[in-house]
């Protein structure tokens, strides 16, 4: 049995038996629990630690574990006053506008589905694709580095900033890089730094829900700019800048989420030209560069590498290619805006924990790093093919406008007769979780969509089974 489940089971059993003991009475010894439940001493120690953390037992070194005093019953108060306190000041109309933050589109990809459900809604690599041994080794080595537990520079470790600068390319230097707590944190900092509350921000349509949530939380008004299979449309982008007076565009030029589109060279140049003419910044969310598929051609350079004038604020991260818990990313910018980005990050979080930065350095500097990149690249290529082939055979009515050469998902348009809102619960009943399309649109969507991730599942066999279950869900709600 897995150690984690053994600990949970033992803790649950001991918790159920606590009523047998009076307050202050000693529980059986660790040796007795090992013999009774046929588990390891480590499992017993961790189970008792869990009960101690819940305030149910008190452990005394060398003496054992004792039943703790019961916690005082919780007092139910009246929190209705908060509804008014959490509203903004009256506007010109005198109406109160709630400052609600909608994280539902993000939680869809963060929540773990029930056991046995095929996870097509995930946003991270399956544990079988994560470099777990390399990460464990990097973290162990990092903890032994001189000064590893001291305070790091607020901008990040110089060696890690230099590594990110080389990865971004062009003339970007380490002095123009800030180490961040992952890509989401970097996006949030950039949105707050680059335009004031109440102003418009141009976004791709569809686009990443986490960015939309962060923009709205910062008081910004996302304005959609339509995309096609080659990414954002420059003609509509230019029109949107003129119509709105916006001074900020957020885009994902490479393997866009959710469409998978990659901007061709002429559009990349057009985006920079149009933004520069509008006096606007471009936040380049380069989240998927290391998720390139094995059959893709040479990758284009980052927008930041082609931008000497400081139009682009570049965001990237190590999280997607490693683990959801390695929350280490970077912001790169040049010019006066860098100081504002730095100030906001310091005020928000001081700095990224040094052991995590040291572990990231150990990982990317090890021989295992390039091996891991090659392994993931080949696995994503295979899984993309398996999923696309299974969909073509089993669910041909779901349209796939673009087959990406990078990233970890496919973006599917639903037929008009298949309601998105009904498909999601039907899919869960059939044992497969999918990401709804609605949260990817900042305004009314043109049609129903779903996003299927092929990175968070165990492998080709589970992909095939997930598509079979999705077929059953479609049949359930289709007349």
Per-residue pLDDT of the chain (479 residues; tens, 9 = 90+): 345 568 888 999 998 988 889 898 999 999 999 999 999 999 999 999 999 998 899 988 888 899 988 877 777 788 778 777 777 665 544 555 456 677 777 777 777 778 899 999 988 999 999 999 999 999 999 988 888 888 899 999 999 999 999 999 999 999 999 999 999 999 999 999 999 999 999 999 999 999 999 999 998 999 999 999 999 999 999 999 999 999 999 999 999 999 999 999 999 999 999 999 999 999 999 999 999 999 998 999 999 999 999 999 999 999 999 999 999 999 999 999 999 999 999 999 899 999 999 999 999 999 999 999 999 999 999 999 999 999 999 999 999 999 999 999 999 999 999 999 999 999 999 999 999 999 999 998 999 999 999 999 999 999 999 999 999 999 999 87
For 379-414, write each residue's pLDDT tens digit: 999 999 999 999 999 999 999 999 999 999 999 999
Nearest partner of 291 among 332, 315, 319, judged by Cα: 319
Which residues, 6+ apart, have CB-to-CB distance to 178 below 8 Å?
Answer: 155, 156, 161, 330, 331, 332, 338, 341, 342, 345
Quick one: pLDDT at residue 79? 78
For residues 410 and 258, the answer to whether their CB atoms sit within 8 Å is no
Quick one: pLDDT at residue 92? 46
In the structure encoding, which two tokens stand for residue 362, read together?
């150990």
Quick one: pLDDT at residue 145? 87
Q: Which residues pair with 283 in a beta bridge?
A: 250, 313
For 435-476, write each residue's pLDDT tens digit: 999 999 999 899 999 999 999 999 999 999 999 999 999 999
> Phi/psi of residue 409, each to 5°?
-155, 165
Q: Following CA atoms 360, 308, 315, 169 in sequence, which dihedral angle do they give, to the nearest 10 degrees?
A: -40
> Phi/psi of residue 163, each to 5°?
-65, -45
In the structure encoding, which two tokens stand for residue 472, read together?
């059953």
For residues 128 and 232, the answer to whether their CB atoms sit within 8 Å is no
Quick one: pLDDT at residue 80? 79
Determine the distance from the C-alpha atom of residue 102 to the mean position of all C-alpha atoms in its chain, rounded to a whole number.
16
Given strand 281-285, what is the order of strands in its sheet? 177-180, 329-332, 312-317, 281-285, 248-251, 200-205, 221-228, 231-232
Q: Is 261 helix (H, G, I), strand (E, B) or coil?
A: coil
In the structure encoding, which two tokens stand for residue 308, read together?
């000497």
Q: Following CA atoms 77, 79, 81, 86 in sequence, which dihedral angle do they give, to the nearest 10 degrees?
A: 150
> What's the whole-model pTM score?
0.85
Q: At what angle do helices 41-53 and 30-37 cross, to 10 degrees?
A: 110
Quick one: pLDDT at residue 4? 52
Quick one: pLDDT at residue 2? 46
Quick one: pLDDT at residue 190? 96
Task: Please give the Cα distance from 176 to 19 (Å, whole number).
Answer: 60
Quick one: pLDDT at residue 95? 52
> Which domains, ranges and CATH numbers included, belong to the chain?
3-67 (1.10.10.10), 104-129+370-477 (3.90.1150.10), 132-366 (3.40.640.10)
């Amino acid at each position: 049995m897995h150690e984690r489940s053994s600990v949970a089971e033992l803790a649950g059993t001991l918790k159920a038996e606590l009523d047998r003991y009076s307050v202050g009475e000693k529980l059986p010894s660790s040796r007795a629990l090992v013999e009774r439940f046929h588990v390891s001493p480590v499992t017993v120690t961790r189970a008792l630690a869990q009960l101690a953390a819940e305030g149910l037992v008190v452990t005394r070194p060398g003496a054992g574990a004792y039943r703790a005093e019961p916690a005082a019953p919780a007092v139910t108060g009246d929190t209705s006053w908060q509804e008014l306190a959490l509203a903004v000041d009256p506007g010109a109309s005198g109406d109160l506008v709630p400052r609600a933050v909608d994280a539902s589109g993000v939680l869809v990809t963060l929540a773990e589905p029930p056991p046995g459900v095929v996870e097509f809604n995930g946003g991270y690599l399956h544990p079988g694709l994560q470099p777990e041994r390399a990460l464990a080794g990097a973290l162990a080595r990092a903890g032994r580095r001189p000064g590893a537990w001291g305070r790091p520079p607020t901008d990040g470790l110089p060696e890690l900033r230099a590594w990110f600068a080389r990865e971004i390319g062009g003339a970007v230097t380490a002095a123009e890089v800030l180490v961040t707590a992952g890509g989401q944190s970097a996006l949030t900092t950039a949105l707050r730094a680059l335009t004031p509350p109440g102003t418009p921000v141009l976004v791709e349509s569809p686009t990443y829900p986490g960015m939309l949530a962060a923009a709205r939380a910062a008081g910004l008004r996302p304005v959609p700019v339509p995309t096609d299979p080659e990414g954002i449309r420059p003609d509509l982008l230019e029109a949107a800048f003129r119509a709105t007076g916006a001074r900020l565009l957020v885009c994902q030029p490479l393997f866009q989420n959710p469409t998978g589109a990659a901007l061709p060279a002429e559009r990349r140049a057009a985006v920079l030209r149009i933004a520069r003419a509008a006096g606007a910044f471009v936040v380049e969310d380069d989240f998927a560069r290391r998720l390139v598929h094995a059959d893709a051609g040479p990758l284009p350079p980052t927008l930041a590498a082609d931008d000497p004038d400081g139009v682009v604020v570049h965001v990237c991260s190590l999280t997607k290619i490693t683990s959801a818990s390695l929350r280490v990313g970077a912001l790169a910018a040049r010019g006066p805006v860098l100081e504002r980005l730095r100030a906001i990050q310091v005020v928000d979080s001081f700095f990224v924990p040094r052991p995590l930065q040291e572990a990231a350095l150990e990982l990317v500097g090890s021989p295992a790093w390039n091996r891991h990149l090659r392994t993931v690249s080949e696995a994503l290529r295979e899984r993309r093919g398996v999923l696309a082939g299974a969909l073509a055979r089993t669910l041909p009515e779901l349209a796939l406008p673009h087959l990406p050469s990078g990233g970890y998902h496919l973006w599917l348009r639903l037929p008009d007769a298949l309601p998105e809102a009904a498909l999601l619960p039907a899919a869960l009943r059939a044992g497969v979780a999918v990401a709804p399309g609605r949260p990817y649109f900042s305004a009314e969507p043109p049609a129903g969509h779903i996003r299927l991730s092929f990175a968070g599942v165990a492998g080709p066999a589970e992909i095939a089974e997930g598509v079979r279950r999705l077929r059953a869900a479609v049949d359930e709600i289709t007349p």
